Structure 1
Protein backbone atom coordinates (compact mmCIF):
# COMPACT_ATOMS: atom_id res chain seq x y z
CA UNK A 1 0.00 0.00 0.00
CA UNK A 2 1.35 3.41 -1.00
CA UNK A 3 1.58 6.22 1.56
CA UNK A 4 -1.43 8.15 0.27
CA UNK A 5 -3.67 5.07 0.31
CA UNK A 6 -3.16 4.53 4.05
CA UNK A 7 -2.82 8.15 5.26
CA UNK A 8 -5.76 9.64 3.35
CA UNK A 9 -8.07 6.89 4.58
CA UNK A 10 -7.53 7.71 8.28
CA UNK A 11 -9.61 10.17 10.32
CA UNK A 12 -6.38 11.83 11.48
CA UNK A 13 -5.61 13.15 8.00
CA UNK A 14 -8.87 15.10 8.02
CA UNK A 15 -8.25 16.30 11.60
CA UNK A 16 -4.80 17.64 10.72
CA UNK A 17 -6.15 19.62 7.78
CA UNK A 18 -9.44 20.66 9.37
CA UNK A 19 -8.31 24.30 9.52
CA UNK A 20 -8.35 24.74 5.76
CA UNK A 21 -9.99 27.97 4.71
CA UNK A 22 -13.10 26.82 2.91
CA UNK A 23 -14.32 30.36 2.38
CA UNK A 24 -11.15 31.09 0.42
CA UNK A 25 -11.59 27.81 -1.46
CA UNK A 26 -15.19 28.60 -2.39
CA UNK A 27 -14.21 32.11 -3.50
CA UNK A 28 -11.47 30.55 -5.62
CA UNK A 29 -13.87 28.08 -7.25
CA UNK A 30 -16.41 30.86 -7.90
CA UNK A 31 -13.73 33.01 -9.55
CA UNK A 32 -12.38 30.04 -11.49
CA UNK A 33 -15.71 28.98 -12.99
CA UNK A 34 -16.44 32.62 -13.86
CA UNK A 35 -13.03 33.01 -15.52
CA UNK A 36 -13.62 29.87 -17.60
CA UNK A 37 -17.14 31.07 -18.47
CA UNK A 38 -18.52 27.63 -17.80
CA UNK A 39 -22.22 27.62 -18.54
CA UNK A 40 -24.59 26.38 -15.87
CA UNK A 41 -25.22 22.63 -16.16
CA UNK A 42 -21.71 22.11 -17.57
CA UNK A 43 -20.25 18.76 -16.55
CA UNK A 44 -17.26 18.93 -14.20
CA UNK A 45 -15.13 16.20 -12.63
CA UNK A 46 -13.61 16.98 -9.24
CA UNK A 47 -10.59 14.69 -9.41
CA UNK A 48 -9.27 13.67 -5.97
CA UNK A 49 -12.31 15.22 -4.31
CA UNK A 50 -11.57 14.13 -0.72
CA UNK A 51 -14.54 14.66 1.59
CA UNK A 52 -16.46 16.29 -1.25
CA UNK A 53 -16.92 19.82 0.03
CA UNK A 54 -15.80 21.41 -3.23
CA UNK A 55 -17.86 18.99 -5.33
CA UNK A 56 -20.91 19.99 -3.29
CA UNK A 57 -20.15 23.70 -3.75
CA UNK A 58 -19.68 23.30 -7.51
CA UNK A 59 -23.02 21.53 -7.64
CA UNK A 60 -24.63 24.37 -5.67
CA UNK A 61 -23.26 26.78 -8.30
CA UNK A 62 -25.31 24.88 -10.88
CA UNK A 63 -22.85 22.37 -12.32
CA UNK A 64 -23.27 18.66 -12.98
CA UNK A 65 -20.46 17.17 -10.84
CA UNK A 66 -18.75 13.81 -10.51
CA UNK A 67 -16.39 13.60 -7.53
CA UNK A 68 -13.67 10.96 -7.75
CA UNK A 69 -11.25 9.87 -5.03
CA UNK A 70 -9.06 6.89 -4.19
CA UNK A 71 -10.22 6.86 -0.56
CA UNK A 72 -13.21 4.58 -0.06
CA UNK A 73 -13.79 6.13 3.36
CA UNK A 74 -14.11 9.58 1.81
CA UNK A 75 -16.44 8.41 -0.95
CA UNK A 76 -18.62 6.53 1.55
CA UNK A 77 -18.84 9.80 3.51
CA UNK A 78 -19.75 11.75 0.36
CA UNK A 79 -22.58 9.46 -0.74
CA UNK A 80 -24.99 11.33 1.54
CA UNK A 81 -24.55 14.45 -0.64
CA UNK A 82 -25.51 12.74 -3.88
CA UNK A 83 -28.53 13.83 -5.88
CA UNK A 84 -30.36 11.01 -7.65
CA UNK A 85 -33.47 12.56 -9.14
CA UNK A 86 -32.64 16.24 -9.45
CA UNK A 87 -30.60 18.33 -11.87
CA UNK A 88 -27.82 19.32 -11.90
CA UNK A 89 -26.54 15.96 -10.69
CA UNK A 90 -23.92 15.22 -8.04
CA UNK A 91 -22.33 11.78 -7.80
CA UNK A 92 -19.23 10.25 -6.21
CA UNK A 93 -17.12 7.21 -7.11
CA UNK A 94 -13.96 5.53 -5.85
CA UNK A 95 -11.34 6.03 -8.54
CA UNK A 96 -7.56 5.93 -8.99
CA UNK A 97 -6.65 8.99 -11.09
CA UNK A 98 -4.11 6.94 -13.04
CA UNK A 99 -6.88 4.85 -14.58
CA UNK A 100 -9.26 5.78 -17.42
CA UNK A 101 -12.42 7.50 -16.20
CA UNK A 102 -15.64 5.71 -17.04
CA UNK A 103 -18.15 8.49 -17.57
CA UNK A 104 -19.66 10.69 -20.25
CA UNK A 105 -17.30 13.35 -21.66
CA UNK A 106 -17.10 16.48 -19.50
CA UNK A 107 -16.46 20.18 -20.00
CA UNK A 108 -13.79 20.51 -17.29
CA UNK A 109 -11.69 18.51 -14.86
CA UNK A 110 -10.47 20.17 -11.66
CA UNK A 111 -7.57 18.70 -9.70
CA UNK A 112 -7.33 21.05 -6.72
CA UNK A 113 -5.19 21.69 -3.65
CA UNK A 114 -2.07 19.66 -4.56
CA UNK A 115 -3.66 16.32 -5.37
CA UNK A 116 -0.96 15.45 -7.91
CA UNK A 117 2.71 14.49 -7.67
CA UNK A 118 2.25 11.52 -5.34
CA UNK A 119 3.60 8.85 -7.66
CA UNK A 120 7.24 7.72 -7.85
CA UNK A 121 6.92 6.53 -11.44
CA UNK A 122 6.83 9.29 -14.07
CA UNK A 123 4.66 7.08 -16.25
CA UNK A 124 1.96 7.27 -13.56
CA UNK A 125 2.04 11.06 -13.79
CA UNK A 126 1.56 10.82 -17.54
CA UNK A 127 -1.36 8.45 -17.04
CA UNK A 128 -3.17 11.14 -15.05
CA UNK A 129 -2.88 13.63 -17.90
CA UNK A 130 -3.91 10.97 -20.41
CA UNK A 131 -7.01 9.91 -18.48
CA UNK A 132 -8.06 13.55 -18.09
CA UNK A 133 -7.51 14.23 -21.79
CA UNK A 134 -9.61 11.23 -22.78
CA UNK A 135 -12.62 12.23 -20.64
CA UNK A 136 -12.71 15.87 -21.76
CA UNK A 137 -14.83 17.21 -24.58
CA UNK A 138 -12.97 19.02 -27.40
CA UNK A 139 -11.71 22.38 -26.08
CA UNK A 140 -12.40 21.17 -22.52
CA UNK A 141 -10.44 22.60 -19.59
CA UNK A 142 -8.08 20.91 -17.15
CA UNK A 143 -7.20 22.90 -14.01
CA UNK A 144 -4.18 21.56 -12.14
CA UNK A 145 -3.73 23.42 -8.86
CA UNK A 146 -0.23 22.57 -7.71
CA UNK A 147 2.44 23.78 -5.34
CA UNK A 148 5.03 26.24 -6.64
CA UNK A 149 8.34 24.40 -6.48
CA UNK A 150 10.48 27.51 -5.99
CA UNK A 151 8.20 28.96 -3.29
CA UNK A 152 8.36 25.66 -1.38
CA UNK A 153 12.16 25.75 -1.46
CA UNK A 154 12.22 29.40 -0.35
CA UNK A 155 9.83 29.03 2.59
CA UNK A 156 10.42 25.53 3.97
CA UNK A 157 9.96 25.28 7.78
CA UNK A 158 11.87 22.16 8.93
CA UNK A 159 10.09 21.55 12.26
CA UNK A 160 6.67 22.44 13.66
CA UNK A 161 4.02 21.19 16.08
CA UNK A 162 0.38 21.65 15.14
CA UNK A 163 -2.47 21.08 17.62
CA UNK A 164 -5.79 19.97 16.20
CA UNK A 165 -8.65 18.69 18.37
CA UNK A 166 -6.28 18.06 21.27
CA UNK A 167 -3.76 16.12 19.17
CA UNK A 168 -0.20 17.43 18.84
CA UNK A 169 1.00 16.63 15.34
CA UNK A 170 4.82 16.81 15.25
CA UNK A 171 5.75 17.65 11.69
CA UNK A 172 9.17 17.73 10.07
CA UNK A 173 9.81 18.66 6.43
CA UNK A 174 12.78 18.13 4.19
CA UNK A 175 13.63 18.20 0.52
CA UNK A 176 15.16 14.97 -0.69
CA UNK A 177 16.07 14.83 -4.36
CA UNK A 178 12.99 15.90 -6.34
CA UNK A 179 10.56 15.41 -3.45
CA UNK A 180 9.36 17.31 -0.44
CA UNK A 181 8.77 14.89 2.41
CA UNK A 182 6.57 15.68 5.39
CA UNK A 183 7.02 13.35 8.38
CA UNK A 184 4.02 13.30 10.75
CA UNK A 185 4.07 11.76 14.25
CA UNK A 186 1.44 11.99 16.99
CA UNK A 187 -0.27 10.23 19.88
CA UNK A 188 -4.00 9.54 19.61
CA UNK A 189 -6.48 7.02 20.98
CA UNK A 190 -3.81 5.55 23.23
CA UNK A 191 -1.44 4.77 20.36
CA UNK A 192 1.59 6.24 18.63
CA UNK A 193 1.07 7.03 14.96
CA UNK A 194 3.56 7.73 12.21
CA UNK A 195 2.70 8.78 8.66
CA UNK A 196 4.42 10.72 5.92
CA UNK A 197 3.58 12.63 2.75
CA UNK A 198 5.84 12.65 -0.27
CA UNK A 199 5.15 15.01 -3.15
CA UNK A 200 7.26 15.64 -6.23
CA UNK A 201 8.61 19.12 -6.76
CA UNK A 202 7.61 19.22 -10.40
CA UNK A 203 8.97 22.17 -12.36
CA UNK A 204 6.81 24.27 -14.66
CA UNK A 205 8.62 22.74 -17.59
CA UNK A 206 7.95 19.16 -16.49
CA UNK A 207 4.24 19.81 -16.00
CA UNK A 208 3.98 21.50 -19.39
CA UNK A 209 5.81 18.61 -21.05
CA UNK A 210 3.34 16.10 -19.60
CA UNK A 211 0.48 18.26 -20.82
CA UNK A 212 1.82 18.72 -24.34
CA UNK A 213 2.62 15.01 -24.71
CA UNK A 214 -1.03 14.23 -23.98
CA UNK A 215 -2.54 16.84 -26.27
CA UNK A 216 -3.06 19.90 -24.04
CA UNK A 217 -2.04 23.51 -24.46
CA UNK A 218 -1.34 25.66 -21.42
CA UNK A 219 -3.50 28.78 -21.47
CA UNK A 220 -2.27 30.53 -18.32
CA UNK A 221 -0.79 30.09 -14.85
CA UNK A 222 -2.18 31.79 -11.76
CA UNK A 223 -0.09 32.26 -8.64
CA UNK A 224 -2.73 32.15 -5.90
CA UNK A 225 -6.40 31.51 -5.15
CA UNK A 226 -7.27 35.11 -6.04
CA UNK A 227 -6.11 34.31 -9.62
CA UNK A 228 -3.24 36.79 -9.56
CA UNK A 229 -0.44 36.40 -12.10
CA UNK A 230 2.17 33.74 -11.37
CA UNK A 231 5.56 34.87 -10.07
CA UNK A 232 8.15 32.12 -9.85
CA UNK A 233 9.84 33.33 -6.65
CA UNK A 234 6.82 34.68 -4.76
CA UNK A 235 3.63 32.88 -5.72
CA UNK A 236 2.41 30.28 -3.20
CA UNK A 237 0.55 28.29 -5.86
CA UNK A 238 1.05 27.15 -9.44
CA UNK A 239 -2.48 26.92 -10.84
CA UNK A 240 -2.23 25.65 -14.40
CA UNK A 241 -5.05 26.09 -16.89
CA UNK A 242 -4.84 23.67 -19.81
CA UNK A 243 -7.17 23.24 -22.77
CA UNK A 244 -7.64 20.09 -24.79
CA UNK A 245 -6.46 20.65 -28.35
Structure 2
Protein backbone atom coordinates (compact mmCIF):
# COMPACT_ATOMS: atom_id res chain seq x y z
CA UNK A 1 0.00 0.00 0.00
CA UNK A 2 1.35 3.43 -0.98
CA UNK A 3 0.68 6.37 1.30
CA UNK A 4 2.69 9.49 0.56
CA UNK A 5 4.09 11.12 3.73
CA UNK A 6 5.03 14.45 2.15
CA UNK A 7 2.81 17.50 2.55
CA UNK A 8 -0.54 16.22 1.31
CA UNK A 9 -1.27 18.92 -1.24
CA UNK A 10 2.18 18.54 -2.84
CA UNK A 11 1.89 14.78 -3.29
CA UNK A 12 -1.83 14.67 -4.16
CA UNK A 13 -2.01 17.63 -6.54
CA UNK A 14 1.08 16.38 -8.39
CA UNK A 15 -0.45 12.91 -8.71
CA UNK A 16 -2.07 11.92 -12.02
CA UNK A 17 -4.86 10.34 -9.98
CA UNK A 18 -5.95 13.75 -8.65
CA UNK A 19 -6.67 14.88 -12.19
CA UNK A 20 -8.46 11.64 -13.00
CA UNK A 21 -10.75 11.88 -9.98
CA UNK A 22 -11.73 15.47 -10.74
CA UNK A 23 -11.66 15.35 -14.53
CA UNK A 24 -15.40 15.94 -14.89
CA UNK A 25 -15.61 19.28 -13.12
CA UNK A 26 -18.24 21.65 -14.46
CA UNK A 27 -16.31 23.91 -16.84
CA UNK A 28 -19.47 25.75 -17.84
CA UNK A 29 -20.14 26.73 -14.23
CA UNK A 30 -16.56 27.96 -13.91
CA UNK A 31 -16.91 30.04 -17.09
CA UNK A 32 -20.15 31.63 -15.91
CA UNK A 33 -18.40 32.54 -12.65
CA UNK A 34 -15.52 34.15 -14.55
CA UNK A 35 -17.97 36.06 -16.75
CA UNK A 36 -19.91 37.36 -13.75
CA UNK A 37 -16.80 38.19 -11.76
CA UNK A 38 -14.89 40.08 -14.46
CA UNK A 39 -18.02 42.04 -15.39
CA UNK A 40 -18.72 42.91 -11.76
CA UNK A 41 -15.12 44.03 -11.22
CA UNK A 42 -15.21 45.91 -14.54
CA UNK A 43 -11.70 44.76 -15.44
CA UNK A 44 -10.68 46.58 -18.60
CA UNK A 45 -9.74 44.70 -21.76
CA UNK A 46 -6.14 43.46 -21.60
CA UNK A 47 -6.20 43.91 -17.84
CA UNK A 48 -3.64 41.93 -15.84
CA UNK A 49 -4.98 38.97 -13.81
CA UNK A 50 -3.06 36.59 -11.55
CA UNK A 51 -4.75 33.18 -11.19
CA UNK A 52 -3.22 32.02 -7.91
CA UNK A 53 -3.20 28.25 -7.37
CA UNK A 54 -4.32 27.80 -10.97
CA UNK A 55 -3.98 24.00 -11.17
CA UNK A 56 -3.89 22.89 -14.80
CA UNK A 57 -5.10 26.31 -15.90
CA UNK A 58 -8.77 25.92 -16.77
CA UNK A 59 -9.76 29.30 -15.32
CA UNK A 60 -6.64 30.97 -16.71
CA UNK A 61 -7.26 29.74 -20.24
CA UNK A 62 -10.86 30.95 -20.20
CA UNK A 63 -9.96 34.33 -18.71
CA UNK A 64 -7.36 34.73 -21.44
CA UNK A 65 -10.01 33.96 -24.06
CA UNK A 66 -12.00 36.92 -22.72
CA UNK A 67 -9.15 39.24 -23.64
CA UNK A 68 -7.19 39.50 -20.39
CA UNK A 69 -3.45 39.16 -19.84
CA UNK A 70 -3.31 36.21 -17.46
CA UNK A 71 -0.58 34.66 -15.35
CA UNK A 72 -1.33 31.28 -13.79
CA UNK A 73 0.72 30.27 -10.75
CA UNK A 74 0.71 26.98 -8.89
CA UNK A 75 2.98 24.94 -6.61
CA UNK A 76 2.39 21.76 -8.62
CA UNK A 77 5.14 21.33 -11.19
CA UNK A 78 3.13 18.69 -13.05
CA UNK A 79 0.09 20.96 -13.33
CA UNK A 80 2.17 23.86 -14.60
CA UNK A 81 3.97 21.63 -17.07
CA UNK A 82 0.57 20.59 -18.44
CA UNK A 83 -0.77 24.16 -18.50
CA UNK A 84 2.23 25.51 -20.42
CA UNK A 85 0.89 23.95 -23.62
CA UNK A 86 -1.73 26.73 -23.62
CA UNK A 87 0.74 29.60 -23.26
CA UNK A 88 0.76 32.51 -25.69
CA UNK A 89 1.86 36.15 -25.66
CA UNK A 90 -0.82 37.04 -23.10
CA UNK A 91 -1.02 33.79 -21.10
CA UNK A 92 1.85 32.52 -18.96
CA UNK A 93 2.22 29.85 -16.29
CA UNK A 94 4.77 29.68 -13.48
CA UNK A 95 5.55 27.38 -10.54
CA UNK A 96 5.04 29.50 -7.45
CA UNK A 97 4.38 29.23 -3.70
CA UNK A 98 1.34 31.38 -2.99
CA UNK A 99 2.59 32.17 0.54
CA UNK A 100 5.04 34.52 -1.17
CA UNK A 101 4.33 37.58 -3.31
CA UNK A 102 4.45 37.04 -7.06
CA UNK A 103 6.69 39.44 -9.00
CA UNK A 104 4.71 42.38 -10.34
CA UNK A 105 1.25 43.78 -9.61
CA UNK A 106 -2.15 43.03 -11.12
CA UNK A 107 -5.62 44.44 -11.67
CA UNK A 108 -7.03 41.32 -9.99
CA UNK A 109 -5.72 38.32 -8.09
CA UNK A 110 -8.03 35.31 -8.16
CA UNK A 111 -7.74 32.43 -5.69
CA UNK A 112 -10.45 30.07 -6.91
CA UNK A 113 -12.20 26.78 -6.17
CA UNK A 114 -11.17 26.43 -2.49
CA UNK A 115 -7.45 26.80 -3.14
CA UNK A 116 -6.85 28.09 0.39
CA UNK A 117 -6.65 26.57 3.86
CA UNK A 118 -4.23 23.74 3.06
CA UNK A 119 -1.35 24.83 5.24
CA UNK A 120 -0.44 23.32 8.59
CA UNK A 121 0.95 26.61 9.91
CA UNK A 122 -1.39 29.52 10.62
CA UNK A 123 1.32 31.94 9.54
CA UNK A 124 1.21 30.52 6.00
CA UNK A 125 -2.48 31.35 5.69
CA UNK A 126 -1.78 34.89 6.86
CA UNK A 127 1.22 35.20 4.56
CA UNK A 128 -0.95 34.18 1.60
CA UNK A 129 -3.39 37.00 2.34
CA UNK A 130 -0.48 39.42 2.66
CA UNK A 131 0.96 38.15 -0.62
CA UNK A 132 -2.35 38.69 -2.42
CA UNK A 133 -2.48 42.25 -1.08
CA UNK A 134 1.07 42.98 -2.25
CA UNK A 135 0.27 41.62 -5.72
CA UNK A 136 -2.56 44.13 -6.26
CA UNK A 137 -1.94 47.40 -8.05
CA UNK A 138 -3.47 50.66 -6.84
CA UNK A 139 -6.93 49.77 -8.12
CA UNK A 140 -6.61 45.97 -7.95
CA UNK A 141 -9.07 43.63 -6.23
CA UNK A 142 -8.37 40.22 -4.70
CA UNK A 143 -10.94 37.43 -4.89
CA UNK A 144 -10.96 34.37 -2.62
CA UNK A 145 -13.47 31.73 -3.67
CA UNK A 146 -13.79 29.33 -0.73
CA UNK A 147 -16.34 26.74 0.30
CA UNK A 148 -19.03 27.69 2.83
CA UNK A 149 -17.65 25.47 5.58
CA UNK A 150 -20.81 25.61 7.70
CA UNK A 151 -22.94 24.40 4.79
CA UNK A 152 -20.41 21.73 3.78
CA UNK A 153 -20.22 20.30 7.30
CA UNK A 154 -24.00 20.31 7.69
CA UNK A 155 -24.38 18.36 4.43
CA UNK A 156 -21.30 16.16 4.60
CA UNK A 157 -21.65 12.77 2.88
CA UNK A 158 -19.61 10.45 5.12
CA UNK A 159 -18.78 7.85 2.50
CA UNK A 160 -19.27 7.10 -1.19
CA UNK A 161 -17.50 5.71 -4.25
CA UNK A 162 -16.77 7.21 -7.65
CA UNK A 163 -15.66 5.30 -10.73
CA UNK A 164 -13.56 7.28 -13.22
CA UNK A 165 -11.55 5.78 -16.09
CA UNK A 166 -12.05 2.33 -14.64
CA UNK A 167 -10.65 3.29 -11.23
CA UNK A 168 -12.94 2.94 -8.21
CA UNK A 169 -12.20 5.74 -5.75
CA UNK A 170 -13.43 5.15 -2.19
CA UNK A 171 -14.10 8.49 -0.49
CA UNK A 172 -14.55 9.06 3.24
CA UNK A 173 -15.31 12.53 4.64
CA UNK A 174 -15.22 13.76 8.23
CA UNK A 175 -14.33 16.75 10.40
CA UNK A 176 -11.30 16.64 12.69
CA UNK A 177 -9.36 19.41 14.45
CA UNK A 178 -11.32 22.09 12.59
CA UNK A 179 -10.40 20.56 9.24
CA UNK A 180 -12.69 19.01 6.65
CA UNK A 181 -10.94 15.81 5.63
CA UNK A 182 -11.40 13.50 2.68
CA UNK A 183 -9.65 10.12 2.67
CA UNK A 184 -9.19 8.75 -0.85
CA UNK A 185 -8.31 5.11 -1.45
CA UNK A 186 -8.18 3.05 -4.64
CA UNK A 187 -6.34 0.27 -6.41
CA UNK A 188 -4.52 0.74 -9.72
CA UNK A 189 -2.55 -1.98 -11.51
CA UNK A 190 -2.67 -4.20 -8.41
CA UNK A 191 -1.23 -1.45 -6.22
CA UNK A 192 -3.21 0.09 -3.35
CA UNK A 193 -3.06 3.86 -2.90
CA UNK A 194 -4.16 6.19 -0.13
CA UNK A 195 -4.29 9.98 -0.27
CA UNK A 196 -5.88 12.58 1.96
CA UNK A 197 -7.24 16.08 1.46
CA UNK A 198 -7.21 18.37 4.51
CA UNK A 199 -8.80 21.79 4.27
CA UNK A 200 -9.17 24.15 7.21
CA UNK A 201 -12.84 24.78 7.89
CA UNK A 202 -12.51 28.56 7.69
CA UNK A 203 -15.68 30.55 8.29
CA UNK A 204 -16.36 34.13 7.26
CA UNK A 205 -15.45 35.18 10.81
CA UNK A 206 -12.11 33.38 10.50
CA UNK A 207 -11.36 35.16 7.23
CA UNK A 208 -12.31 38.51 8.75
CA UNK A 209 -9.71 37.92 11.47
CA UNK A 210 -7.08 37.07 8.84
CA UNK A 211 -7.95 40.17 6.82
CA UNK A 212 -7.65 42.37 9.89
CA UNK A 213 -4.26 40.87 10.74
CA UNK A 214 -3.08 41.43 7.16
CA UNK A 215 -4.48 44.99 7.04
CA UNK A 216 -6.83 44.01 4.23
CA UNK A 217 -10.32 45.42 3.65
CA UNK A 218 -13.22 43.06 2.94
CA UNK A 219 -15.31 44.76 0.26
CA UNK A 220 -18.03 42.25 -0.70
CA UNK A 221 -19.19 38.74 0.19
CA UNK A 222 -21.16 36.51 -2.20
CA UNK A 223 -22.68 33.07 -1.69
CA UNK A 224 -22.48 31.53 -5.16
CA UNK A 225 -21.08 31.93 -8.66
CA UNK A 226 -24.03 34.10 -9.67
CA UNK A 227 -22.73 36.61 -7.08
CA UNK A 228 -25.86 36.45 -4.97
CA UNK A 229 -25.98 37.34 -1.29
CA UNK A 230 -24.13 35.06 1.13
CA UNK A 231 -26.23 33.03 3.55
CA UNK A 232 -24.32 30.95 6.10
CA UNK A 233 -26.98 28.21 6.13
CA UNK A 234 -27.74 27.82 2.43
CA UNK A 235 -24.91 29.23 0.31
CA UNK A 236 -22.60 26.77 -1.43
CA UNK A 237 -19.69 29.17 -1.71
CA UNK A 238 -17.99 31.94 0.24
CA UNK A 239 -16.70 34.41 -2.36
CA UNK A 240 -14.86 37.38 -0.86
CA UNK A 241 -13.59 40.52 -2.56
CA UNK A 242 -10.68 42.17 -0.78
CA UNK A 243 -8.47 45.22 -1.20
- TM-score, length basis structure 1: 0.95
- 1:216 is paired with a residue whose SS is coil
2:3 maps to none
Calculate the TM-score normalised by the size of structure 2: 0.96
Match of 2:42 among 3, 21, 37: 37
Show the counterpart of 2:107. Answer: 107
Cα distance per residue 1:121-165 (max 9 Å; x no partner): 110000101111111112311100001111012101101001111
Residue 202 in structure 1 maps to residue 202 in structure 2:
yes
How do 1:166-245 residues align onto structure 2 when only pairs under 5 Å count?
166-243=166-243
Distance 2:86 2:152 in 1: 35
* Deviation of the 1:221 alpha carbon: 1.0
**Structure 2 Cα separation of the partners of residues 3 and 141 of structure 1:** 30
Q: Any unmatched runs of 5+ in structure 1?
A: none
Superposed CA offset, 1:65-87 (max 9, x none):
00000000011111111113xxx
Measure how far apart 1:213 and its partner are: 2.3
Q: CA deviation at 1:229?
A: 0.8
Deviation at 1:183, TM superposition (A): 0.2
Q: For residues 35 and 57 of structure 1, what CA distance do their matches in structure 2 show? A: 17
Q: Which residue of 2 aligns with 1:91?
A: 92
Query: Alpha-carbon deviation of 1:100?
Result: 2.2
User: Aligned partners of 1:188, 1:176: CA distance in 2, in Å?
Assistant: 28
Structure 1 residues 142-151 or 204-213, which shifts more?
A: 204-213
Aligned to 2:26: 21
SS, match of residue 25 in structure 2:
coil
In the other structure, the counterpart of 2:8 is 3
Unaligned runs of 5+ residues in structure 2 are: 1-5
